[in-house]
Structure 1
Amino acid sequence: MSCRCRGIMWYFGLLAQVAFSQHQAPDPSEKPENAEASAPLRIAKMLEGQAIVNRWLASLNYHVLGLCVILCLIIGVILMIRRGARAFHFGWFLYGKPPRGQVFQPAHVSQHPKSWQAELGAVRQIYGFTFLQNVPLISNFTFGQLTLSSFFVGLVVILAVLSNPAPTQNPRRFGYLAAANIPFLVLFSMKNSPLALLGKGYEKLNFIHRFIGFVVIACSLIHGGLMTSFMSQGKISNTRAFYSGCFMGFMLLLVGITAIPAIRRRIYKIFYLVHVLGYLSLFAGGIYHEKALRPYMISAISLHLLSSGWQVLKWKMYTATLTPLPGKITRVEINGIKTGWKAGHHVRLRVLGSFWQGLQAHPFTIASAPSRSGSETNSLILYVKAVGSFTTMLYAKAVTVDGFSDIRPVSQSRFSNGSQKLVQLPSDICSSITNSENKSSSVGSIGTLQNSDKNHHGTISRMATLDIGLPDGVEVNVHVEGPYGGIGWHGLDEFRDVIICAGGSGISFLVAVVSELVSLAKVGGITKRALVIFTVRDWEVAKYFGNILARDIEESSTYGLSLDVRFFVTVKVETPIPLGDIKIRWQRPSLDILVKEFLMDVVGGQGVGLGACGPPGLMAQVRSSVAMIDLKTAKRVGGINMHFEELGW
């Protein structure tokens, strides 16, 4: 392996030496005898140097792509062998039948010497303090991401001026730089990338895709601006390349504008459509623009087809049951999926209905543990909060079937027990359900939707009559694609002491991890202590999930797993009810204090696992709390292995 790496580095060095030796920058002290005669010579040398650097860029492109795949395969195989072949069963495909026998055994962890573990803990702490904290005034961006992005920009700048004494007189260089980055742009956008073998899901690498995209746009605009100037001066005669380049530049600029986070969140459907059209325009325009760009375009198209083909293998149609919950949350249960995922994985969900609904996939974290054997019948469960157009539509489907022809009742005797309840729908949900009063025939099988009198605020509210005797909800056909993401090769089940923190919709991650730890405790899992922190605004939401976790707390004590569950509800109610052993606080959590108190009781020095999921503000607070831990404590506990699932990526 070391000989191969040295050979590759020697080859890269040879390429650079050839690029430099065959085209040196002209010496300004040397004055040619005839300036006019030397002009064609300078142009010829510049073109020769450009050709050399272009070949170097193409070779570097192919070798780096190949090197990435080879390294991922080697590391992935080593990690799979280390964890055992049975762990390979989870995280690749979803299965409709539970496995025969127990394939989901506790993780095998090789115990390092205590001195090594202490030094490893110090390294982890220094790394977390240096790279994992959020950059001030820049949301969703850590110092590690900033460092990597700065290094990449520096590399692009070096390549832009390498053997190029007059960059403004050589606009083709920027065009080739943009083209050379397109395969990497596609690589880091792939849902099924070979980089996933490193234990990182595509959502963790998506920031690189976005950054490379803006670099491609910047290089393309510089190239296009300089070429437009040359075109106006009559220096360019290839009008086909000029106009195809203008078209690609316009599409790239449109993609870049709609990809700005503030704009993307407001007009996501337009962003999605522009993104698809931009990809197609870039591939077709690049092949048509210039023959030298075809290898780059073919590489990018091949990667995209590889990812799309793997997505098709993961794409299946199921019947999902939708149930409305407090806090505008929809419970989505897919009985046809029993195993194939682990805690922290997510799936991409499509709801069949209109053409646009079937085209668009949305990621949701799985909130249940998989079935370990044929005796278990766990189903795949999602909790979806109504915050956008798609999730609002899903919640509307759960509370009424009016206007949705693809939904049918679960039971024909739904109202047999006469148990009904009036549920007030939020105004944003009501706005998505129009003219429902005129379609009572389609609503009658599930309930009725009616206008009520004006309330004391003078606004019109709508009431939906729902059956609470049968909690099965309604069924809808969905396409499920996955699983994706995950905690990585070092899961939380590999640590004796674990901290789980979640906020808002991150409860799906929390419930899945707790359920998996309890499931593993039954067969001798490693984890013995877990601090569970959940912060939420709505007391009704806390009460619902508190009842779910209460069963896990009761069951875990039987198998030697101590769960310390703490709920932090930010909006206090007058008459709250107790939730068993769950500690309730009516305030925001002080994470730094909670983490330090938990670490005081850690023994063994084999490391602590931390998993967090929630909005960016909560994730920044968790990173800051861990970064403030002193090196002495980090060495004593063996370091903190962190995993973050940020909402809204």
Structure 2
Amino acid sequence: MSAPVIPSSLQIYNSYVEDPIWQGNFTVIWCSGLAITIAVSLPSLILSLRHGRSFKGITGISESTGYRSVSSDDNKSLPAPGSPQSRRLVGAWNALVSQTYWSPPKLELNLGQIIVLSAYLAAVLVCIIKDAPLISNPNRAGFLALAQFPVVFLFATKNSILSLLLGPGNGYEKLNFMHRMAGRTMFLGGCIHGALWIRNHLQYGLPILGPQKETSGVASLALLGIIVLTSLRPVRRLFYECFFLVHVLTYVAFFVTICYHTMYASPWIFPPLAFYGADVLMRLLRYRIKDATLTAQDAHMTLIRVHSCDDGWLAGQHVRLRVFFSNRVFESHPLTILSAPPSHSCLSSPGLILGARTNGDWTRALNNYTLKEQERSQVHEKSEGGPSALVHVMLDGPYGGSSIDLGGYESVLLVAGGSGVAFTLGLLDDIVERWVSCHPYQL
């Protein structure tokens, strides 16, 4: 005689068996979406590998060698145009994809990003709600909050394997929107999990603070709330240095408290640690300390010419710059490189050129420091902009850039406004030099 089977409707929901399955389902969903994106980007990656663009600058800005390699002329040639049929197919595909670049006013997201975020949020909500008795046992939301850890860190690190797989122009600044979304869905899952458990504890007269699990859970939710609230756009823009410091300290504390709260958090901690460790290692390879010349054109613009930089970046990329002056040595800021590498530049001045428009405390302090040094004329050299100030700088990068090689097109229209002119100048410098190199007698 076989043992009686309890009907499924009468079985007690075992969240520690069922909910990890939904964690796995969610992980499969976002990994599948990522794999599809990489597959779609594969032709672009192959083309950039063929033209030597994919791994350009992966080890940072190159040191000055004192001479130009003869083989560098080969890199300046324009890519051979494809057949008319292939160009029509590429044009049709670009016209289709270009629709996703439309951005609603004041949202700072394009249509493609909105679609991706909507699909991601839908996947999270389905995995939280589907067949889960959240009122009596809200553990599912907590498990899904833990499943956000790999996404949060994969799309947050500046040196990510994902950026390499997606090809040039897909740096952290274009992937960071997913980092913010994953962080907010983690907060959403944490709020559902915490709020419903607090409700249950109040209903049955159980202590909310006191036992380790409850206390560490409340602390984790509080830290997660601080991370999300201090990451809102107004805080990031007005108090970036404070935001960054709070962000680093709170996510370290959050890691500790969540591991005290549940033993199921430990497996989800290791992928973020691996992503962050790889990012730190790559940054160490990309750091450079150089001599630089500061020239204040006026009270609104400071030019920074970094010496002994010949190669290691693509036109349109940016670096994070730290200038050792006054008491601002702990601040680094992203600045777009105004020129292409000397081997691809039509400018006669060697080195790496950056422009800092006075638009905040740091850029204003840099401009005032340069103006004072020029007035003193104690340490200066003759240049197009007059007296200059010599400083030491630290470079981290390059990052970002254009996702397409403009040299492969017959006609290019560049439109820029405001600070976007820095990005455009680098691209213009690159394509003009390559055209001149291929058509030296058509000037």
TM-score by length of 1: 0.60
For the 8 Å contact 2:345–2:429, the answer to whether it is kept is no
Which residue in 2 is equivalent to 1:135?
A: 104
Q: What is the distance in 2 between the residues matched to 1:56 and 1:139?
A: 32
Q: Is the alpha carbon distance of 1:444 and 1:513 closer, same or farther for their aligned partners in structure 2, counting shifts above 3 Å?
A: closer
Unmatched segments (≥5 aa) in structure 2: 1-5
**Among 325, 335, 357, the residue aligned to 1:364:** 335
Which residue in 1 is equivalent to 2:378?
A: 445
Q: Is the alpha carbon distance of 1:126 and 1:494 closer, same or farther for their aligned partners in structure 2, counting shifts above 3 Å?
A: same
Tell me, yes or no, if structure 1 residue 146 matches structure 2 residue 110.
Answer: no
Q: Is the alpha carbon distance of 1:120 and 1:475 closer, same or farther for their aligned partners in structure 2, counting shifts above 3 Å?
A: same
**Among 130, 155, 159, the residue aligned to 1:162:** 130
Q: What is the distance in 1 between the residues matched to 2:308 and 2:51?
A: 25
Q: Is the alpha carbon distance of 1:277 and 1:107 closer, same or farther for their aligned partners in structure 2, counting shifts above 3 Å?
A: farther
Name the SS for the 2:314 alignment partner: coil
- TM-superposed deviation, 1:248: 2.1
Which residue in 2 is equivalent to 1:173?
A: 140
Name the amino acid aligned to 2:144: L
**Among 309, 328, 348, the residue aligned to 1:337:** 309
Name the SS for the 1:480 alignment partner: strand
For the 8 Å contact 2:76–2:344, the answer to whether it is kept is no
**Among 165, 170, 189, the residue aligned to 1:219:** 189
Instruction: Name whichever of 493-502 and 51-60 sits farther off.
Output: 51-60
Q: Which deviations, in whole Å up to 9, do the C-alpha atoms of 1:196-216 show, x marking residues without a partner?
A: 121211111111111221111
- TM-superposed deviation, 1:263: 2.8
Q: Is the alpha carbon distance of 1:302 and 1:234 closer, same or farther for their aligned partners in structure 2, counting shifts above 3 Å?
A: farther
- TM-superposed deviation, 1:56: 4.6
Q: What is the distance in 1 between the residues matched to 2:163 and 2:183?
A: 20
- TM-superposed deviation, 1:47: 1.1
For the 8 Å contact 1:384–1:505, the answer to whether it is kept is no
Name the amino acid aligned to 1:365: T
Which residue in 2 is equivalent to 1:190?
A: 157
For the 8 Å contact 1:100–1:373, the answer to whether it is kept is no
Q: Is the alpha carbon distance of 1:287 and 1:334 closer, same or farther for their aligned partners in structure 2, counting shifts above 3 Å?
A: same
For the 8 Å contact 1:96–1:337, the answer to whether it is kept is yes
Tell me, yes or no, if structure 1 residue 475 matches structure 2 residue 390.
Answer: yes
- TM-superposed deviation, 1:227: 2.0
TM-score by length of 2: 0.85
Name the SS for the 2:135 alignment partner: helix
- TM-superposed deviation, 1:117: 3.4
Q: What is the distance in 2 between the residues matched to 1:467 and 1:522?
A: 29
For the 8 Å contact 1:95–1:339, the answer to whether it is kept is yes
For the 8 Å contact 1:24–1:163, the answer to whether it is kept is no
For the 8 Å contact 1:68–1:195, the answer to whether it is kept is no
- TM-superposed deviation, 1:470: 7.3
For the 8 Å contact 2:296–2:385, the answer to whether it is kept is no
Name the SS for the 1:397 alignment partner: helix
Which residue in 2 is equivalent to 1:290?
A: 262
Which residue in 2 is equivalent to 1:574?
A: none
For the 8 Å contact 2:344–2:433, the answer to whether it is kept is no
Q: What is the distance in 1 between the residues matched to 2:97 and 2:40?
A: 25
Q: Which deviations, in whole Å up to 9, do the C-alpha atoms of 1:253-302 show, x marking residues without a partner?
A: 12222222123212222211111112212222222221111111121111
Name the amino acid aligned to 1:477: H
Q: Is the alpha carbon distance of 1:185 and 1:559 closer, same or farther for their aligned partners in structure 2, counting shifts above 3 Å?
A: farther
Q: Is the alpha carbon distance of 1:253 and 1:374 closer, same or farther for their aligned partners in structure 2, counting shifts above 3 Å?
A: closer
Instruction: Name whichever of 53-62 and 94-103 sits farther off.
Output: 53-62
For the 8 Å contact 2:81–2:408, the answer to whether it is kept is no
- TM-superposed deviation, 1:378: 2.2
Higher Cα radius of gyration: 1
Q: What is the distance in 2 between the residues matched to 1:60 and 1:154?
A: 11
Q: What is the distance in 1 between the residues matched to 2:263 and 2:315?
A: 47
For the 8 Å contact 1:317–1:480, the answer to whether it is kept is yes
Q: What is the distance in 2 between the residues matched to 1:249 and 1:271?
A: 18
Task: Please give the residue correspondences for 1:416-565 in structure 2 after superposition, counting only pairs within 5 Å.
Answer: 443=376, 445=378, 471-488=386-403, 490-524=404-438, 560=442
Q: What is the distance in 2 between the residues matched to 1:24 and 1:160?
A: 24
Tell me, yes or no, if structure 1 residue 386 matches structure 2 residue 353.
Answer: no
- TM-superposed deviation, 1:335: 0.8
Q: What is the distance in 2 between the residues matched to 1:24 and 1:106?
A: 73
Tell me, yes or no, if structure 1 residue 209 matches structure 2 residue 179.
Answer: yes
Q: What is the distance in 1 between the residues matched to 2:310 and 2:427?
A: 16
Task: Please give the residue correspondences for 1:577-596 in structure 2 after superposition, counting only pairs within 5 Å.
Answer: none
Which structure's relative contact order is higher, taking Cα pairs within 8 Å and 6+ residues apart? 2
For the 8 Å contact 1:367–1:508, the answer to whether it is kept is yes
Which residue in 2 is equivalent to 1:230?
A: 200
Q: Which deviations, in whole Å up to 9, do the C-alpha atoms of 1:415-473 show, x marking residues without a partner?
A: xxxxx8xxxxxxxxxxxxxxxxxxxxxx57369xxxxxxxxxxxxxxxxxx99897251
For the 8 Å contact 1:94–1:341, the answer to whether it is kept is yes
Q: What is the distance in 2 between the residues matched to 1:195 and 1:330?
A: 34
Q: Is the alpha carbon distance of 1:294 and 1:304 closer, same or farther for their aligned partners in structure 2, counting shifts above 3 Å?
A: same
Q: What is the distance in 2 between the residues matched to 1:326 and 1:70?
A: 49
Q: What is the distance in 2 between the residues matched to 1:155 and 1:62?
A: 11
For the 8 Å contact 1:106–1:524, the answer to whether it is kept is yes
Name the SS for the 1:483 alignment partner: strand
Q: What is the distance in 2 between the residues matched to 1:496 and 1:508?
A: 23
* Higher-strand-fraction structure: 1
Q: What is the distance in 1 between the residues matched to 2:89 and 2:7?
A: 48
Task: Please give the residue correspondences for 1:184-333 in structure 2 after superposition, counting only pairs within 5 Å.
Answer: 184-197=151-164, 198-199=166-167, 200-232=170-202, 233-234=204-205, 239-326=211-298, 328-333=300-305
Q: What is the distance in 2 between the residues matched to 1:373 and 1:118?
A: 29
The root-mean-square deviation of aligned C-alpha atoms, in Å, is 3.4
Instruction: Name whichever of 246-255 and 65-74 sits farther off.
Output: 65-74
Name the SS for the 2:147 alignment partner: helix
Q: What is the distance in 1 between the residues matched to 2:20 and 2:207?
A: 20
Q: What is the distance in 1 between the residues matched to 2:188 and 2:438?
A: 55
Q: What is the distance in 2 between the residues matched to 1:75 and 1:354?
A: 45
Name the SS for the 1:168 alignment partner: coil
Q: Is the alpha carbon distance of 1:184 and 1:380 closer, same or farther for their aligned partners in structure 2, counting shifts above 3 Å?
A: same
Q: What is the distance in 2 between the residues matched to 1:208 and 1:484?
A: 18
Give the fraction of aligned pairs with identical amino acids, expressed as a percent: 26
Q: Is the alpha carbon distance of 1:220 and 1:344 closer, same or farther for their aligned partners in structure 2, counting shifts above 3 Å?
A: same
- TM-superposed deviation, 1:345: 0.5
- TM-superposed deviation, 1:245: 2.0
